[in-house]
C-alpha cells in the first residue's frame, strides 16, 4: 500500500504532466493530434466531449510578484477541479490563466463558475470563452479565440464574461486625430472644474471610437501622443512653469482597460491644469477686454471668427473663454452692444429704422425689429416715439 506522502507526490506529478500536455495541445494551433483521446485517457482525463470548447479565467486584479500569482492560480485550479464534476478539464496555461475545457452543451455553468470563484476568493474574475469545435484535436482554435475574447476586457471592463462569438472586427486608426487634440485642448483650457476636464477627455475617446473599437495598441499610442501634445501646448503657453507630476509611459502601457486609460489621462490633465492656470487669469482678462473692444468698434461687421482672428485665438476657445469670464455667450454680448448702439442712434439721429439696423450689423430690418423689441420691450419706432415725448 502506498504511503500518504507517496500518494501526494504522485498526485503532484500527475497534475504537472496534465498541465504540460494541455499547454502543448492548445499552443500547437497548426498541428492536429489524432491520438489526443488516448493521451487524455493515459493522463486520467475525460477524453469524451460534445463539441469541446475552451474558456480562460484570470483574476481581475494585480499581484505583488509572480510567485504570489502562481500560488493563486494553483488554488483556482484546485478549487475548480473539486467543484466541476461533469468531466471538464482544468489546467494552468503558459500565460498565467486557468483554462477550462468543457462540452459546449454544458456552457450554462460559466456564470455559476465565475460567481463561485468570486464568492470563494472575494475577488472579481475575467472570463474569455472560445467557440466550440468539432473535435478535441482542434481545441487550440477555441483556445486562441478565448484568449482574444479575454483581451477584449480592454473595452468591456473587468469582471465580465466575454464570448468570442460576440466580438466584431477592430477598426484601423489611419492617422492621429490632430484636430481632435486641438479641440480637446481648447475645451480643456476653458474648463472651470474637474468634471469639465473629465468630460473633454471622454469626448476625445468617444469621437476616436465613433466608428467602432480600434486595435488596442493604437489606443496606447494615441494616448501617449495626446499627453505629449497637450503637455507641449501647456508649457508653450505657460508664462511660469511650476512643478507638476509628469506622465509615465510605462504606467500607461500597464493599464488593462480603456476606462483605466481614460482615468489616467483625466488625472494627468487635472494636475497639469495648475501649470496652465498659473498666471493665466490676468491673461484671460486682457483677452476678453480686447475682444469686447473689437466688438464695440466693429459691431456692424463683427463675428466670432473675425474677432477671434484679431486676438489670435480659435473661435471655439474664444467662445468658451468669453462665456467663462462674462457669463454671456459671444453672440449675446454682441447683440447687447448692437442694441445699445441702435438705441443711441434712435435717440440722436434721423436715420430710418432700416438704416439703423444696417449700421449696427443687421441686414434684415424685420429681424432687427424682432431682436430690438425682445431686448427693449418696444419696437424701434415705438422706442423713438417714447424718447420724443
Question: What's the pLDDT tens digit per position in 134-148?
Answer: 988 889 999 999 999
Q: What is the pLDDT of residue 78?
A: 87
Q: How many helices and strands (H and E) does the chain possess?
A: 18, 5
Whether residue 247 is found in the same domain as residue 100:
no
Can you spell out the DSSP letters for 258-298? HHHHHHHHHHHHHHHHHHHHTTHHHHHHHHHHHHHHHHHHT
Q: What is the pLDDT of residue 7?
A: 43
Alpha-carbon span 149 to 141, nearest angstrom: 12
Alpha-carbon span 51 to 92, nearest angstrom: 21
Buried b (16+ CB within 10 A) or exposed e, 143-169: bbbbbebbebbbbbbbebbbbbeebee
> What phi and psi values does residue 53 have, to the nearest 5 degrees?
-140, 165
Q: pLDDT digit string (tens) for 89-112? A: 999 999 889 999 999 887 778 888
Alpha-carbon span 306 to 160, nearest angstrom: 52
The pTM assigned to this predicted structure is: 0.61
Taking a C-beta distance cutoff of 8 angstroms, is the pair 340, 299 a contact?
no
Whether residue 122 is found in the same domain as residue 156:
yes
Looking at residue 370, which CATH number applies to its domain?
1.10.10.60
Whether residue 17 is found in the same domain as residue 147:
yes
Q: What is the pLDDT of residue 31?
A: 56
Domain of residue 188, residue span: 178-278
Under DSSP, the state recorded for 62 is: -
Total domains in the chain come to: 3
C-alpha cell recorded at residue 185: 485642448
Residues of the chain where predicted confidence (pLDDT) is lower than 70: 1-10, 29-34, 238-245, 277-283, 388-389
Q: What is the pLDDT of residue 6?
A: 42
Q: What is the pLDDT of residue 265?
A: 94
Can you spell out the DSSP letters for 303-320? -HHHHHHHTT--HHHHHH
Whether residue 86 is found in the same domain as residue 234:
no
> Residue 44: which residues within 8 A CB-CB, separation 6 or more?
14
Taking a C-beta distance cutoff of 8 angstroms, is the pair 360, 343 a contact?
no
Q: What is the pLDDT of residue 313?
A: 84
Alpha-carbon span 151 to 148, nearest angstrom: 5
Buried b (16+ CB within 10 A) or exposed e, 82-117: eebeeebbbbbbeeebbbbbbbbebeebbeebbebb
Whether residue 245 is found in the same domain as residue 198:
yes
Looking at residue 54, which CATH number applies to its domain?
3.30.70.270
Buried b (16+ CB within 10 A) or exposed e, 344-381: ebbeeeeeebbebbbbbbbeebeebbebbeeebeeebe
Whether residue 305 is found in the same domain as residue 264:
no
Alpha-carbon span 95 to 114, nearest angstrom: 19
Whether residue 270 is found in the same domain as residue 292:
no
Asked if residue 171 is part of any domain, the answer here is: no
> Residue 260 to residues 12, 34, 153, 182: CA-CA distances in angstroms?
39, 44, 11, 23
Alpha-carbon span 11 to 158, nearest angstrom: 34
Amino acid at each position: 500500500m502506498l504511503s500518504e506522502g507517496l500518494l501526494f507526490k504522485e498526485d503532484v506529478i500527475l497534475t504537472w504532466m496534465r498541465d504540460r500536455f494541455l499547454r502543448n495541445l492548445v499552443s500547437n494551433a497548426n498541428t492536429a493530434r489524432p491520438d489526443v483521446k488516448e493521451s487524455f485517457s493515459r493522463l486520467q482525463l475525460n477524453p469524451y466531449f460534445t463539441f469541446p470548447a475552451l474558456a480562460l479565467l484570470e483574476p481581475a486584479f494585480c499581484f505583488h510578484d509572480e510567485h504570489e500569482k502562481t500560488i493563486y492560480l494553483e488554488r483556482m485550479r484546485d478549487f475548480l477541479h473539486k467543484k466541476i464534476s461533469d468531466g471538464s478539464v482544468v489546467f494552468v496555461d503558459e500565460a498565467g490563466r486557468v483554462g477550462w475545457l468543457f462540452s459546449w452543451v454544458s456552457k450554462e455553468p460559466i456564470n455559476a463558475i465565475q460567481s463561485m470563484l468570486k464568492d470563494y476568493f472575494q475577488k472579481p474574475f475575467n472570463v474569455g470563452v472560445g467557440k466550440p469545435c468539432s473535435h478535441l484535436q482542434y481545441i487550440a482554435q477555441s483556445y486562441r479565440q478565448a484568449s482574444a475574447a479575454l483581451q477584449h476586457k480592454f473595452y468591456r471592463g473587468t469582471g465580465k464574461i466575454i464570448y468570442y462569438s460576440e466580438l466584431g472586427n477592430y477598426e484601423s486608426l489611419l492617422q492621429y486625430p490632430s484636430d481632435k487634440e486641438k479641440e480637446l485642448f481648447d475645451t480643456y483650457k476653458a474648463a472651470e472644474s474637474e468634471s469639465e476636464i473629465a468630460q473633454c477627455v471622454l469626448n476625445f475617446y468617444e469621437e476616436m471610437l465613433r466608428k467602432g473599437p480600434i486595435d488596442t495598441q493604437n489606443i496606447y499610442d494615441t494616448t501617449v501622443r495626446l499627453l505629449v501634445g497637450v503637455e507641449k501646448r501647456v508649457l508653450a503657453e505657460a508664462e511660469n512653469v511650476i512643478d507638476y507630476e509628469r506622465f509615465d509611459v510605462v504606467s500607461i502601457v500597464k493599464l488593462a482597460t480603456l476606462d483605466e486609460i481614460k482615468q489616467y489621462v483625466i488625472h494627468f490633465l487635472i494636475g497639469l491644469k495648475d501649470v496652465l492656470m498659473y498666471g493665466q487669469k490676468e491673461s484671460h482678462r486682457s483677452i476678453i477686454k480686447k475682444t469686447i473692444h473689437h466688438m464695440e468698434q466693429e459691431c456692424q461687421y463683427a463675428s466670432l471668427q473675425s474677432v477671434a482672428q484679431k486676438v489670435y485665438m480659435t473661435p471655439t476657445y474664444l467662445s468658451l473663454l468669453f462665456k467663462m469670464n462674462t457669463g454671456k455667450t459671444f453672440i449675446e454680448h454682441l447683440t447687447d452692444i448692437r442694441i445699445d448702439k441702435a438705441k443711441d442712434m434712435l435717440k440722436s439721429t434721423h436715420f430710418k429704422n432700416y438704416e439703423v439696423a444696417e449700421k449696427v450689423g443687421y441686414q434684415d430690418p424685420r429681424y432687427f425689429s424682432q431682436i430690438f423689441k425682445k431686448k427693449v420691450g418696444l419696437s424701434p419706432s415705438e422706442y423713438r416715439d417714447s424718447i420724443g415725448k
